[in-house]
Amino acid sequence: MTTHSQLFVNLPVKNLARTVEFYTQLGYSFNAQFTDENATCMIVGENNFVMLLVEPFFQSFTQKTLVDAKKQVQALLAVSVPDRAAVDALVDKAIAAGATAHEPKDYGFMYQRAYDDLDGHTWEVFFMDPNAAPPHADQ
């Protein structure tokens, strides 16, 4: 089994200062050691980080064309929280800070709400009760 000690997700952003302000309103913090005019390191959990890179700097890491996240999707970012109330609290903060909300989804064992951030990246915030999850198909 392959495991990793850290996860870094890189996202292109149009305006770094505006993006940092948005995520600060959601309660996230940033590692100043990895922050300058081109990028910042947002801490999303123990050993889990999102590098927010201004588009020209992000482009320097790839020869592929960047997608317009407001029109296309390349990834869905999903983060778990401890309970349903925390799902609502985080997404409500995102909406108040300027995000666009998606319709909530309740699967019984999992409750999810999603939002598009200022650059159009979709974040899914969910709570899953493993005790209520349906059994695995091969059991």
Query: What is the CATH classification number for the domain harbouring 54?
Result: 3.10.180.10
| Chain centre distance of CA 45 | 11
Confidence of residue 69 (pLDDT cuts 50, 70, 90): very high
pLDDT at 2: 85
Percent of the chain residues past pLDDT 90, beyond the cut: 88
Joined together, the tokens standing for residue 130 give 């493993």
Which of 44, 62, 80 terminates a domain? The answer is: 62
How high is the pLDDT of residue 121? 97
Same domain (yes/no): 71, 55: no
pLDDT at 138: 54
Q: Are 50 and 39 in contact (CB under 8 A)?
A: no
C-alpha triplet 91, 81, 93: angle, nearest 5°: 20
Domain that holds residue 72: 67-139
27 and 91 inside one domain: no
Same domain, yes or no: 91 and 120: yes
* Tens-digit pLDDT profile for residues 93-136: 999 999 999 999 999 999 999 999 999 999 999 999 888 777 76
Total count of domains within the chain = 2
**Are 39 and 85 part of one and the same domain?**
no
Tokens of 114: 């999603």
Same-domain status, 88 and 128:
yes
DSSP letters spanning 5-73: S-EEEEEEES-HHHHHHHHHHTT-EEEGGG-SSSEEEEEEETTEEEEEEEHHHHHTT-SSPPP-TTT--
Same domain, residue pair 105 and 43: no
Cα separation, 19 vs 44, whole angstroms = 15
* Domain identity same for 33 and 85: no
Residue 56's pLDDT is what? 97
